[in-house]
Amino acid sequence: MAPAGAKRNILERLDAGEIVIGDGGFVFALEKRGYVKAGPWTPEAAAEHPEAVRQLHREFLRAGSNVMQTFTFYASDDKLENRGNAQRFTGAQINEAACDLAREVANEGDAMVAGGVSQTPSYLSCKSEAEVKGIFTRQLNVFVKKNVDFMIAEYFEHVEEAEWAVQVLKTSGKPVCASLCIGPDGDLNGVSPGDCAVRLVKAGANIVGINCHFDPMTCVKTVKMMKEGVERAGLKAHYMVQPLAYHTPDCNCQGFIDLPEFPFGLEPRILTRWDMHKYAREAFNVGIRFIGGCCGFEPYHIRAVAEELATERGYLPAASVKHGNWGAGLEMHTKPWVRARARRDYWEKLKPASGRPECPSMSTPDSWGVTKGHADLMQHKEATSLDDLHTKMIKSYSLDF
């Protein structure tokens, strides 16, 4: 159980040296459960199926999460209306429903509510700074109305757009996190992780880091580069990491979205709960104190993070009552060879097989090499045409061969 007492905000916890555990990847988790459509990846479920979103929040809370992040990923009006994505709900309705669900579950435990914004089609289509900031402002107005505890600007491929988001969120007076979806090579304009972090801190971010696109160890490495950059600049910040739950050693600078398995064939890459122990320890060792997950993370992954750091946190999550330390529950199994696996050294040394003898261990990612302003990334409300799909298929095949 978490320690009793009044809830403190995220900066009070981090300033005290505490570990804050985030939640997991709602978009992917709810897509697998039948509540999110792959492609637009938009969060209508907060208004359409609140019971599904509420249940996932509760599972992450029980697994050890201290943060209930509003299910508002891609909940900006321009994204909700992009490429023929018809809506029954407005962006404001979705954002309000998501805030209410996150607060309801946060109040069931020692959790904070984070209002989140993410990159926009408008930025990719070269809309003005004022137009892009206006989109963030409309989301922020809901977060302020619902009195969330802090803000997260997450999943930004370009540090410039993340700076704009931070500048808007900072007007709330709440703590602000800024999280880029980049790897060690930097953002899609080639700005290094260290320089990205400096720019975000100067824009007003209290906590900076990485989420999505890459596996845990790659993300931890990138946050370490950000930390080094901030320290070289003589600035101060806290650090966060919320990576994929997929192994991505073969990714290029665009991350897992360029893998041919994205998004429907990624399961063979999933990290085990024991991999998550290693991730949590490595993140802690480099000085990261806000540790969570993104796409692919399920509650059992977050439970593994919480169990690895239980000594430092002083308690285990509620869900550990159904999970013996390092597989200790297997001592109750009927088969002796399975009981023999109830030990840490067995699981730490295991090299899991995929069971796919005809499959390679790594893939060749697509490498379109395009970013903001390129014709292929110009966004619009109309549905994608057959001619457009045909053109992109030809280009994809030419890259493959």
Q: What is 282-330 written as a DSSP string?
A: HHHHTT--EE---TT--HHHHHHHHHHTHHHHTS--GGGGGS-GGGGGG
**In the structure, what pLDDT confidence band is assigned to residue 88 with cuts at 50, 70 and 90?**
confident
Which domain, by its residues, includes 308?
Answer: 10-330
Which CATH number does the domain housing residue 101 bear?
A: 3.20.20.330
Q: Determine, yes or no, domain membership for 298.
A: yes
Q: Determine, yes or no, domain membership for 44.
A: yes
CB 70 within 8 A of CB 97: no
pLDDT above 60: residue 397? no
**Cα dihedral 151→309→180→183 (10° resolution):** 180
pLDDT above 50: residue 4? no
User: What local confidence, expressed as pLDDT, does residue 1 receive?
Assistant: 44
Q: Determine, yes or no, domain membership for 390.
A: no
Q: Determine, yes or no, domain membership for 376.
A: no
Q: Determine, yes or no, domain membership for 280.
A: yes
Q: Determine, yes or no, domain membership for 289.
A: yes
Ranges assigned E (strand) in 181-298: 207-211, 238-242, 290-291
Q: What total number of domains does the chain contain?
A: 1
Query: What are the tens digits of pLDDT across the range 374-396?
Result: 766 666 666 776 776 555 554 55
Q: Which two tokens stand for residue 388?
A: 């457009």
Q: Determine, yes or no, domain membership for 226.
A: yes
Annotated binding site: 212, 294-295
User: What local confidence, expressed as pLDDT, does residue 80 receive?
Assistant: 84
Instruction: Please give the mean pLDDT across all residues of the chain.
Output: 92
Helix (H) or strand (E) holding 46: helix 45-48
**In the structure, what pLDDT confidence band is assigned to residue 399 with cuts at 50, 70 and 90?**
very low
**In the structure, what pLDDT confidence band is assigned to residue 371 with cuts at 50, 70 and 90?**
confident
CA–CA distance, 55 with 47 (Å, rounded to integer): 14
Annotated binding site for Zn(2+): 212, 294-295
